[in-house]
Structures are given as structure tokens and as C-alpha cells.
Structure 1
Amino acid sequence: AVAELGGKGGGGRPDLAQGGGKDASRAEAAIAAVEKLLEEGK
């Protein structure tokens, strides 16, 4: 989903992950991508 924001950075640990991007105007696309992954059970 981070790619949806135009970024490639991220990190985390087994119980927590985070990522970021430089284009905040694409935040809605990133949220939609995460929602889709959750619906698919991934």
C-alpha cells in the first residue's frame, strides 16, 4: 500500500509495520489499497 503513496520506505517488526511516501495527495488511494488487502485476508 505504501507504493500507492508514491513511496518505497517502510519498516517494522512482526507485530507492527509502518511506511511512508512523499505524495500525501494519494493517501486515499493508499487507504483503499490497505482496505482491499484486509478484505482479501492478506
Structure 2
Amino acid sequence: MDLVKQAVAALGGQGGGGRPDMAQGGGPEADKADGAVAAVRDALSSSVAAA
């Protein structure tokens, strides 16, 4: 869910979430989809580096 929340924030949305095994969200700024993907990619990279 944390990854979805970061992507939703990049899209200008608020919230996002669901169950730990399946989450969804969205936002009004679809033109920022590349930024949302980058935010998730950065979060994953940071998570792997910390492990």
C-alpha cells in the first residue's frame, strides 16, 4: 500500500490503499503518470538499498 500511496501523491491524488496484497488509487493529474512510476521506482530502490 505504501507504494500506491506514493504514486497517488505524484498524481495529485489523496489517499490510495486497500489490502496489503492489493491496493489501488488514482489522481486527477494523469499527465504526471511518468512521475508516479518514477516515485515507485525510487521507493523500491531505497527499500532494496536499505535491506
TM-score w.r.t. the length of structure 1 is: 0.82
Give the unaligned 5+ runs of structure 1.
none
Give the unaligned 5+ runs of structure 2.
1-5
User: What is the aligned length?
Assistant: 42
Q: Which has the higher helix share?
A: 2
Identical-residue share of aligned pairs (%) = 57
Root-mean-square deviation (CA, aligned residues, Å) is: 1.5
Q: Which has the higher strand share?
A: 1
* Higher relative contact order structure (alpha carbons within 8 Å, sequence separation ≥ 6): 1
TM-score w.r.t. the length of structure 2 is: 0.71
